[in-house]
Structures are given as structure tokens and as C-alpha cells.
Amino acid sequence: MNRKLQPAYEPIKKIALLPVQRFSLENNIPIEYTESEGIGIVKVDFVLGASTRNQKQKCVAALVCNMLTEGTKKFPGNQLLEALDSFGAYIQPQLGADDTTVSLYCLSKYSMQCFTVVHSILTEALLEYDIINKHIIRSKQLIAVNEKKTKYMCRRAFKGLVFGENNVYGSPVKQEDYDNISRETLVSFYTDYVSSGLKKIYLSGDINQKVLENLRVFNDIQPYNLADNTIALSESLEQQIAIVPLKESIQSTIRIGKICINKYSEDFQGLAITNLVLGGFFGSRLMKNIREKLGLTYGIYSAIECNRDAACFFIEADLNNEKTEVALSEVKKELALLYESNISEEDLVVAKNYLIGSLLRSLDGPFASIDKYKMIHDYGLTYDYYDTYVNCIWAFSPEKLRSIAQKHLNRDSMSIVYAGNH
């Protein structure tokens, strides 16, 4: 082997996920799993209906989610986490706008013991008064700290501006929202969306027959049979501008963006490539111009943030207070270039390779493939999505991407939020 010669370059043409297997419990709760034999560890995701879209009062879902590991009838107080710790297990509830997921990491040989603890969490959480008050105080203090940060305030205002403050995707959480939340309200939400809210179970890692058999402990849980609250959106085609004053701040954060297409749109992958060229990685146009050439910021990026029923495109940067207008002007110039001229073949090849390479990197590890199947389910996609993904990416031409930019990235319809001493 001549190590002075560069290895031959072969573009990636296909991505293979671990095969997914499916079955249902006796109570018809669906199970999906992928196997990685020999590692001795299992990850289990319990998907619940306890999301913010289903709460009738702000902050209820967040409080219930935070309190799931604070004790149950069988494992009161610290005994719950101590029981999991004794088996080398870790549990993490994650609140979402569309679903809440309780993720369990444990050794395969102790799956039954750990499943017993999770079953207790899902069916008999205590939700004690003193713990509720502790979480309310802690949450209000965290908001008070964050309300002094330009990035936090900019993001909060932007979502309210784009989605609407009465929409679950845009509704801002403030300190006073934690006032007047009763234990009865929390218990009612827990009953409807946790103890009767199990939608699906995903497993990955060292899944043997014994682990699958141990799932029978969840056969007595009532499956989720409520309809998730619908989310109505009315996209504004007019530009909106909001200023969030933070007088003591020495820097500003700006966000510019709009509601955009979601993952199930045929244009989405093309928009993802366009976003990458614009500001989706360190070698993007925004970084080269506004950071490297003009020195206006240490970091600027663009992204597409997806939820089940809505997505938004945005550009964000932290800037010196005096430089916000200059930076915004340059951002608008970069947006205009996307629909006034074609992306060069060289930039396009870099972006496509980066996007496909990022997907490959995200599949590294024994637990990664099941997350991709979960995404397919969340967005109502077909299971051949990743089979066609790579070919679809390579097929996009500069002309097609320019057309997508013209259709979905009109800068004149993008809302702008400034947060800082502006």
C-alpha cells in the first residue's frame, strides 16, 4: 500500500439501517425493536401522550414529566432512583410538544427489575405536594435567570411571533404560568396521559428473548386511546418584527425566519440541502461571509426545526449591539443569492456529501437505528424512506434547489426578532 496516494473516492449510494422487528403486547401496545447482540445493554423508549399539546393549562405537562422520577407507591422518594442505580440503570423523561418519552438504559440481565420500576412510574407516581412546590420554585427561578439572556428571549419571542402565542409550538412560558396549578390538575393529566397514555415502546441494543418476555409486565397498562389535540396553523405571509429590550445586555441576538415545509413534503430534502449551503455547517455561506470575512459574530447558523404538525426555518446569530443592522443586511443578501443564482456544483457536492455523511454519523452506535424508525413513525413516513433518501439527495440539481429557495425562502415574508440593548 502506497500511503502517499489518496484513497479512491466513492460516493455513498445507499444507507443500511438495522432491520426493525415488530409485535404487540396483549393490550395491543405496539413494540418495535432492533438488535445488536453481545453488548449487554438495552435502551427502551416509552412514548407517552403526556405532551404540551395535550395540556389544558400551561406548565402542567412539564411538571408531571419532571416529577415522574420523584417517587411512587412502591418506590417512594429516593428509593426509586436508588433501585435503578443498584442495577446500573439510568432513566430520563423527555418532554415534547407532540409526545413525551421516558428513556431507560439498563443491562439486559436486569431488564425485569428495571421494567418493574418503570411500570411503577407509569401507574402509581405519588405527585406529592412538597415535591410539586419544589419543582414550581425551581422552574420559576430558572425562567428568571433565562429571561436575562438574549438568546432565550429571542427564541421565545420568535416562536410566539411565527406560530402565535396561543399555539402550543409558540406559546411562551412565563413565571406566572406556574401560579395556581393544583395537584388535582396534575393528577388528572397524569391519569389521562401517563398511566393511560402509553402509545408505543421502542427497544434497541442487546434484545434477547428474555428481554422481550419481560415486557409482559406492561400488559396490564391501558393503552393510549385519546386523540391528540389538533394544532391549527395560519401562516402569515407578511413580515413581522419584534424587539425584546434587555437594557443591560452588551450583545444582541437576532432571529429571522418563517414557517416552512415539514419532513413529509417532497421538497423537504431539497430545502435541507439549501439550508446546509446557507448556514447549516461551519463552511456555510453565512459563516464565511458574516463570521470570517466581516467579523461580525463568532457564530451564525440556519436550521429547520420540525414538529409533527409544523416546521420553521430560521437564521440566528449573537452580535455586538452596534452590528445588528449590518449583519441583518448581509443575511438578506445571502438569502437573495439563493433564489437569484444557482448554487455552484462544487458547493453542491460538498453539501450533499456533508448531509449524507451526517446521516451516517447519526447511525453510529447500537441505539441509533431505532431513533430513525421512531422519526418515520412520528412524521407518518413510509419505512422505505431511508432506502430512497440517498438517491433523492444526489438527484437534486442546482436549478431545482434554486426553485425550492424561491418557493420556500422568500425573505420578505420572514419575521425578525431582536433581543438585546437595541
Where are the domains positioned within the chain? 21-150+161-218, 241-420
Q: In whole angstroms, what is the distance from residue 138 CA to residue 142 CA?
A: 6
Residue 292 in grid coordinates: 470570517
Q: In whole angstroms, what is the distance from residue 311 CA to residue 272 CA?
A: 12
Band the pLDDT of 202: cuts 50, 70, 90.
very high
Compute CA distances 38 → 106, 108, 214, whole Å: 14, 10, 18
- State the pTM of this model: 0.93
Run of H or E residues at 259:
strand 251-260
pLDDT, averaged across the chain? 93
Q: Does domain 241-420 have CATH number 3.30.830.10?
A: yes
**Residue 71 and residue 125 in contact, taking contact as beta carbons nearer than 8 Å:** yes
**Residue 367 and residue 205 in contact, taking contact as beta carbons nearer than 8 Å:** yes
Q: CATH assignment of 21-150+161-218? A: 3.30.830.10
Q: What is the pLDDT of residue 236?
A: 58
Q: Closest Cα to residue 24, out of 281, 243, 278, 215? A: 215
User: Which region among 13-17, 375-379, 395-399 has the lowest average model confidence (pLDDT)?
Assistant: 13-17
- Do the domains 21-150+161-218 and 241-420 sit in the same CATH topology, yes or no? yes
- What is the rounded average pLDDT of the residues 395-413? 94
Q: What is the pLDDT of residue 157?
A: 96
Q: In whole angstroms, what is the distance from residue 196 CA to residue 63 CA?
A: 18
Side chain identity, residue 80:
L
Residue 125 carries which DSSP code?
B
Run of H or E residues at 415:
strand 415-420
- What is the rounded average pLDDT of the residues 290-307? 94
**Residue 75 and residue 126 in contact, taking contact as beta carbons nearer than 8 Å:** no
Q: What is the pLDDT of residue 82?
A: 97
Share of the chain above pLDDT 70, in %: 98
| pLDDT tens digits, 106-146 | 999 999 999 999 999 999 999 999 999 999 999 999 999 99
